[in-house]
Structure 1
Amino acid sequence: MSSNDIIVSLDIGTSKVRAIIGEVTNGSINIIGVGSADSEGIRKGAIVDIDQTVQSIRNAIEHAERMVGIEISDVYVGIQGNHIGLQTNHGVVAVSNEDREIGDDDIERVLQAAKVVALPPEREIINLVPKQFLVDGLEGISDPSGMIGVRLEVEATVVTGAKTAIHNLVRCVEKADLKIAGIVLMSLASGQMSLTKDEKMMGTVLADIGAGSCTIAIFDGGSLAATSTLPIGGEYVTSDISYGLRTQTEHAEKIKLKFGCAMVGDAAEDQKFKVMRMGSNVEKEFTQVDLANIIEPRMQEIFHLIRMEVRRLGYGDKVNGYVLTGGSVSMPGTLALAQSELESSVRIAVPDFIGVRDPAYTSGVGIIQYVSKYMGIRASGAAPKKSAPRKAAAATSSKPGLIERLKNMFSEFI
């Protein structure tokens, strides 16, 4: 990686599409631009309308471009969903150098060997995450480069996904006239930003509660151990408010963002607001306590489902804490309610960068950190703004080359 690189992350969520531009200077990251657009064509984290999703991506990218004055060509895209699967695999190679010093070629070959795994025809490898390397039987090595040995092994977690979901995601980004530099599993990206090394070792649940879905990632022994997605999120809270106050969903969302409180005990009786009810042109007044009485049961249910899912995955007694992130955890009272429902230590992860200090940006910032640490950068994700349209530049990329790149995109993991 050169001393000064641009990385652009694309987080395609149910309520928002966010493009974040990060500048990596000598290993440190600065967030220099953020673009956000309302998400159309996404339901519960899955793409249901290609054209609407493409337009949302374009809007977010253009917003980020205007902020920084550059043209974005390459992006790293986050992926999540219930189709994601994890399996452990082992790779073994003989060290090729005559002096038995392990080089980058050997590490590359052993990672490729770990990718050789029997998969159903409808699934594809997304990520390869090395847990540890072994040199002549010596365990616990994180980077074997430069060591002396005859036999190099790797224990790795192979992250797979449904081809349909991956290819639809690729199609949307391509139709928005962008090139995909790599696809990153959101749980890995969020974990990179949100969790400390000790939290990953001791067993921690990272719950990313978005608008349409909640992604649960369990880290244990230093790496991602299990992941699952629940089709429930902040949209359900908005829907409850809409029914409870008999108002339109659009108004319910604004009320939730402005006056929402997750615990009745934290709500203020003197905090009042008026709502235009459906089928009427008369406004009715409500208090924050009325609103909290609608929100609290749904948020309790979300945390109860998270706890049940962690138990179903077999980690009920092995978890030492929960870390919450995602747009839906910004509401006042969420932390106290989560601690009560999950009966464990809980904290909320927020990116520590100017302009993105909000749990909703955790995944997007996490992708930038993950890429800068593990994947290297093939090409700058942005270029100075030119008068020529982006379509002309994008037309030079050939599709077969892209698919090949996607299949082998984690060749530069170490």
Structure 2
Amino acid sequence: MKEQYYVALDVGSSSVKIVIGEKFHDGVNIIGTGQTFTDGVSKGMIRDFDLAKSGIIDTVKKAELIANIDIDEVFLKVPITNSDVIFTTETLRFSGKDTEIDGELIEELLENIRFKEISTDQEIVTVFPVSFVVDDLHEVEDPKGIIARESLTVKAGIIAVDRTLFLNMGNCAAEAGLDIVDVTSDAYNYSHILTEAEIELGAVVMDIGADLTQYAYYKDGSLKYAGVIPAGGNTITEVIAREFNTDFHYANRAKEQYGHAFYERAPEGERVVFPQNNGDKDVEVSAKDLSDVIEVTLEDMFMEIFRELGEANIDDISGGFVITGGTANMRGIRDLLLDIVSEKVRVHIPTQMGARKPEFTSAIATVESGIRFDELLDYVTIDNHEDDYDRDDNEPIVEEEKQSIFPSLFRERKEKNQSVEVEEDVEYESDDDRYEEDEHDDYEREIVETSDVKNAPPKEKEKSDFGGFMKKVFKNLFE
């Protein structure tokens, strides 16, 4: 990203959020955020294109004012809605030649997987490495710097989403004037909010949004399963409105001001007044009565998640449960879940200045995903705001062919992260000085597939202009 900034775009069910971050030591420093409430999105899908587009434009302006930078490139995150998680392996063979593993080889492995077509109605949006195996001898998390003679294999996860959902979300961002640097799924991003112990032992993240509750299960260091239920904070509000015969607006205000998710600990003396829909006299109820409705609704939502986890044969959650999302602000929600389960429970609230709200969790995690991939692929090897990159801008870019709407995102990110300003009039002693040979061109590469991706061959690549390709692709598709 320009100036080493990572901008995450979160088009949620109740609001559009922008988070601008930068790599800071071992974490993320947030330098700006923006949020605009909109009715353009419902249950993770674009409902009103113009409203959603306006929400994105307004949010970008707010974030730009706070961070004092121009935003034209974003990391787009997509919800878990209509997603599948698939696991596969991919291998590069080196034919007995000593080869030092670097970011380019890792990039090639991941791209080979990303170019596969798993179905006509799904698009691969995230390929994440689980582990690497060098020469079929030892397994490592990051193989960079290791010498291999025979092969490098990646054990990877694939997250595929509904193609229509993806196209509409991406097209909306592009029409708002944004170029998409990369796309990641919430299912992968949530891993960044877990501790090492939680992700190893087996933990479930529950992100309770406005219209959806997304959940993801992680164990042995990586994502294993993800799902979504069509209920969230608005579901609770609707039940309150129906129970007390009041308008949605009044029900939501009561939920936010007086709501408590655990009946036993709800305050005794608080009273809540509900104007009636039929014009009758206002009804006054206790905070306990309000809590009773909230507890029953939330408990039903939790039980639905437990049912789906059970159907997926997930029963080892020794790492506990992590609750986040806008509804995580509600008092007593941790107490309620603790009363239901025997494992530990915590509420995750981001600690970064300017974004200490659980509704920003997903966007911040998207920034962290961008940084993690850039580190893995050697795109980022510098400190913040330092611009001395080791790349010759005169090095030719080899055009590749593509068939998927997801061509070489990794390569475009690398070029953007490694670009530097150079003097216009540079003299070369010879043509040989202008180019640097690819140190990996002199060994034979054999792609070995042991995949669950329906044994589909890699997609053919067509000629592509990588600069702003996503914006152009989306526009071409809809013109």
TM-score by length of 1: 0.87
Partner of residue 371, structure 2: 372
RMSD: 2.5
1:409 counterpart residue number: 409
Q: Which residue of 2 aligns with 1:393?
A: none
8 A contact 2:76–2:182 mirrored in 1:
yes
One-letter amino acid of the structure 2 residue matched with residue 161 of structure 1: V
Structure 2 unaligned blocks of 5 or more: 381-399, 415-479
Determine the structure 2 residue equivalent to 1:213: 212
Structure 2 Cα separation of the partners of residues 253 and 335 of structure 1? 20
Letter in 2 for 1:407: P
Q: In the TM superposition, what is the alpha-carbon distance from 1:282 to its structure 2 partner?
A: 3.9
Q: Which residue of 2 aligns with 1:337?
A: 336
Secondary structure of 2:361 counterpart: helix
User: How far apart, in 1, do the equivalents of 2:342 and 2:97 lie?
Assistant: 57
Task: Give SS of 1:274's match.
Answer: strand
Q: Matches of residues 287-366 of structure 1 in structure 2 within 5 Å?
A: 287-317=286-316, 319-366=318-365
Q: 1:96 to 1:13 in 2, by over 3 A?
A: farther
Structure 1 position 276 matched with structure 2 position 280: no
Structure 1's unaligned 5+ residue stretches are 379-399
Q: Which residue of 1 aligns with 2:389?
A: none
1:102 maps to what in 2? 101
Larger Rg: 2
Query: Which shows bigger deviation, 337-346 or 162-171?
Result: 337-346
1:52 equivalenced with 2:51 (yes/no):
yes
Per the TM alignment, residue 26 of structure 1 is displaced from its structure 2 partner at its CA by 5.5
Aligned ranges 1:7-18 → 2 under 5 Å: 7-18=6-17
Quote the Cα distance in structure 1 between the aligned partners of 2:244 and 2:27. Answer: 47
Corresponding residue SS for 2:70: strand
Matches within 5 A, 1:9-408: 9-25=8-24, 28-95=27-94, 98-115=97-114, 117-150=116-149, 151-192=151-192, 194-280=193-279, 282-317=281-316, 319-375=318-374, 406-408=406-408
CA shift, 1:331, in A, is 0.6
Deviation track 1:120-146 (CA, whole Å, cap 9, x = no partner) reads 112111111111111111232112122
Q: Which amino acid letter does the alignment assign opposite residue 305 of structure 1?
A: E
Supply the distance in 1 between the matched residues of 2:402 and 2:339 (Cα, whole angstroms).
48
CA deviation string 1:334-367 (max 9, x = no partner): 0010111233221111111122222111111111
Report which of the two has the higher share of strand. Answer: 1
Displacement of 1:117 in angstroms is 4.2
One-letter code aligned to 1:251 = Y
Deviation at 1:108, TM superposition (A): 2.5
Instruction: Answer whether contact 1:92 1:113 (CA < 8 A) is retained.
Output: no
Q: Is the 8 A contact 1:96 1:106 kept in 2?
A: no
Residues matched between the structures, number: 390
Distance 1:89 1:143 in 2: 18
CA offsets per residue over residues 33-71 of structure 1, 9 Å max, x none?
111111212122222221111112122222222323332
CA contact (8 A) 1:307 1:342 kept: no
Q: Which residue of 2 aligns with 1:392?
A: none
**Distance in 1 (alpha carbons) for counterparts of 2:407 and 2:76:** 15
| Greater CA drift, 267-276 or 214-223 | 267-276
Cα deviation code 1:296-348 (max 9, x no counterpart): 10011111111111111110245541111111121111001011123322111
In the aligned structure 1, how far is the partner of 2:316 from the partner of 2:101?
Answer: 40
In the alignment, the residues of structure 1 paired with residue 305 and residue 86 of structure 2 have an alpha-carbon distance, to the nearest angstrom, of: 22
Q: Deviations for 1:69-120, whole angstroms, at most 9, x for unmatched residues?
A: 3321111111113311111111111238954322333323322333464511
TM-score, length basis structure 2 = 0.76
After superposition, the Cα gap between the structure-2 partners of 1:104 and 1:356, relative to the gap in structure 1 and judged at 3 Å, is closer
Instruction: Report the AA paired with residue 212 of structure 2.
Output: S
Match of 1:396 in 2: none
Code of the residue aligned with 2:407 in structure 1: it is: K
Distance 2:131 2:336 in 1: 37
**Structure 1 residue identity aligned to 2:10:** D
* Secondary structure of residue in 2 paired with 1:232: coil
* Aligned partners of 1:74 and 1:179 also within 8 Å: yes
> Does the 8 Å CA contact 2:204/2:317 hold for their aligned counterparts?
no
Q: Secondary structure at the match of 1:70?
A: coil
**Aligned-partner Cα distance in 2 for 1:202–1:27:** 23
